[in-house]
Every structure is written in C-alpha cells, then in structure tokens.
Amino acid sequence: MAGGPSPEEIARTQANQLARAVEWLNKHWKGERECPICHSTEWSVGTFIHLTDAPFLTFGLVSTYRVFCPVTCTTCFYTWQFDAGAAGLTAEPDKASGASEDEQPAAGETG
C-alpha cells in the first residue's frame, strides 16, 4: 500500500477533530451563543482550515502554518473562527505530525 492516509483515516481524523472542537467550544463559549447577525443560536462546526504562509509565534516556536476552526450560523451562515492550533486541538494523541507534501503523479487515463 502506498503511503498517505486513507479516506477512512482522514474522515476519522476529521470526526475526531470536530468532536474535540465541539468539546472545546462547550467549555470556553460562555454566555449567549447568539448570532450577531440574525440572532439565531444554531451553529455548526466545520472541518479545520489549514492556512499556509501564516507564520505564528507560539511559545517561542514558529509554526509554518496556522489552523482555524470555522463556526457557522446555520441560519444566515455568518462564520467566525478560532485558532484550533493555539487551542491545542490539532495535536494528534497517538501520532506526531509528520506532514509531508508528496506530489503523486496522477495516472488518470481518459478514454
């Protein structure tokens, strides 16, 4: 099998991240959870957004990218985001980050 996470693995990681993001929000989001635009209180949490070219000084170390978690109003789609990296939600409990950008040659044939 070639390297790289499988779609199942990616889905599991995203589900895990979402669960941790919701847990983090429930812990830190105090007061009214009201949308400033439409006053709805229904929100959805999206998958993490990885921003490259956004160096971030944290605890004396410079990360090469930042990770944000979008929170979207389900009524008017107003979206705000929090720094999931700084919140500690991006650290994999069982695996160190071994991010590498391998370019895989696309072997698509069109008939």
Q: Which residues bind Zn ion (CB under 5 A)?
A: 35, 37-38, 40, 73, 75-76, 78
Residue 103 neighbours by CB distance under 10 Å: 5
Tokens of 3: 């390297």
Nearer to Zn ion, 40 or 81 (CB): 40
Taking the least distance from each CB to Zn ion, the nearer of 35 and 69 is: 35
The nearest distance, CB 36 to Zn ion, in angstroms, is 8
Q: Which lies closer to Zn ion via its Cβ, residue 31 or residue 105?
A: 31
Query: Residue 71 belongs to what H/E stretch?
Result: strand 61-73
Tokens of 18: 């979402």
The minimum distance between CB 73 and Zn ion, in angstroms, equals 3
Rounded least distance, CB 32 to Zn ion, Å: 13
Residues whose CB falls within 8 Å of the CB of residue 55, separated by 6 or more in sequence, listed in order: 62, 63, 64
